Amino acid sequence: MSFSAQRPVTPFWRRPSTWWIVSGVVVIAAVVAGIAVLGPTTGSLLVKTTPSPSATKSRTATPTPTPTPTPTPVGFNKQALSIDDPNSLWVIVNKHRPLADPTYVPSPLSDAPVSYAYASTMRSEAADALTAMFAAYTAETGGEMMLQSVYRSYDTQAELYKGDDTLTARPGYSEHQTGLAADIGDISGECAVQTCFADMQAGQWLAANAWQFGFVLRYPDGYIDTTGYEFEPWHYRFVGTDLSTEMHNTGTPTLEDFFGLEPAPRYPDQG
Ligand SMILES: [Zn+2]
């Protein structure tokens, strides 16, 4: 057998199988390299998609409108009744505000069944409240009060008015013409329609309790520049318990202050 008869040996780099092997190695290397490079990135991306605590916090920290029911403030309605209409329990009469009709006569009128010096005629609502107030005073103290002056007509006021504006209201400008004002004194007549009534038991009781019956002290001490009248501890004005209670609770001294009216210290023609 001759050596030359042997088939020539193909060099390994020229064998197809070698190139398949080389190609396979290259492909595997490329895949491994790709995983090595992309792996961490892919991992970090996955971590980032997980909601971080701060992201969760900021999301829940977004202000959520919570419907908290706000109670409607129940304010006092100062327009509930007229302060201009003489028939209104809130009518305000002063030296700037005469009665709309100078000859106005209130209705209905009735006589309060209490002790009185001259008369006990008032607007019926006021007469009823005053009667209850007098009874409460007697029940609490054993004392007794009496009426000095109540409703006065335009003609009566005209007779009383002698031209001295510091003593008597002009006709058509008197709160007594509304039938809602009462001059109140002690049954003894002591200090009747005088400043010293403020120091008597009845005067002090009225100052403390009249509001509970719908009355207000119309001309308090120190407010002549607002009301136009010196201190009259005997002159009470019926306005109803709604208003008297509100003025008491807010510590408002005068009707002018409560309704924001201009002070009326003098008649307009007095400058
Ligand atoms: Zn009076």
Q: Is the peptide bond preceding residue 108 cis, with omega within 30 degrees of 0?
A: yes
Residues 118 and 48 in one domain: no
Question: Per-residue pLDDT averaged across 115-137, rounded?
Answer: 98
Q: Considering the domain boundaries, does residue 252 fall inside one?
A: yes
pLDDT tens by residue, 54-85? 444 444 555 666 666 666 667 999 999 999 99
State in Å: Cα 7 to ligand 1 middle.
Answer: 150
Q: How many domains is the chain partitioned into structurally? A: 2
Q: Considering the domain boundaries, does residue 4 fall inside one?
A: no
State in Å: Cα 172 to ligand 1 middle.
Answer: 14
Q: Considering the domain boundaries, does residue 202 fall inside one?
A: yes
Residues 129 and 201 in one domain: yes
State what percent of residues in the chain have pLDDT above 70: 73
State in Å: Cα 182 to ligand 1 middle.
Answer: 6
Q: Considering the domain boundaries, does residue 257 fall inside one?
A: yes
Q: Considering the domain boundaries, does residue 228 fall inside one?
A: yes
The confidence score (pLDDT) of residue 197 equals 98
Exposed e or buried b per residue across 38-59, where buried means at least 16 C-beta atoms within 10 angstroms of its C-beta: eeeeeeeeeeeeeeeeeeeeee
State in Å: Cα 157 to ligand 1 middle.
Answer: 11
State in Å: Cα 161 to ligand 1 middle.
Answer: 13
Please provide the average confidence, as pLDDT, over all residues in the chain: 84
Give the pTM.
0.73
Residues 34 and 158 in one domain: no
pLDDT tens by residue, 23-59? 555 545 554 444 444 444 443 434 444 444 444 444 4
User: Residue 32's domain spans which residues?
Assistant: 12-55
What's phi and psi for 5, nearest 5 deg?
-75, -10
Q: Residue 251 is part of a domain; what is its CATH number?
A: 3.30.1380.10
Q: Considering the domain boundaries, does residue 63 fall inside one?
A: no
State in Å: Cα 233 to ligand 1 middle.
Answer: 9
Q: Considering the domain boundaries, does residue 243 fall inside one?
A: yes
Residue with tokens 């060099």: 11
Taking each helix axis from N to C end, the angle separating 201-209 and 124-141, rounded to the nearest 10 degrees, works out to 120
State in Å: Cα 14 to ligand 1 middle.
Answer: 137
Please report which confidence band the pLDDT of residue 164 belongs to, taking 50, 70 and 90 as the band edges: confident
The confidence score (pLDDT) of residue 11 equals 59
State in Å: Cα 205 to ligand 1 middle.
Answer: 18
Q: Considering the domain boundaries, does residue 129 fall inside one?
A: yes
CA distance linking residue 234 with residue 217, whole number of Å:
8
Instruction: Find the helix or strand (DSSP H, E) in which 31 lies.
Output: helix 16-49
State in Å: Cα 15 to ligand 1 middle.
Answer: 136
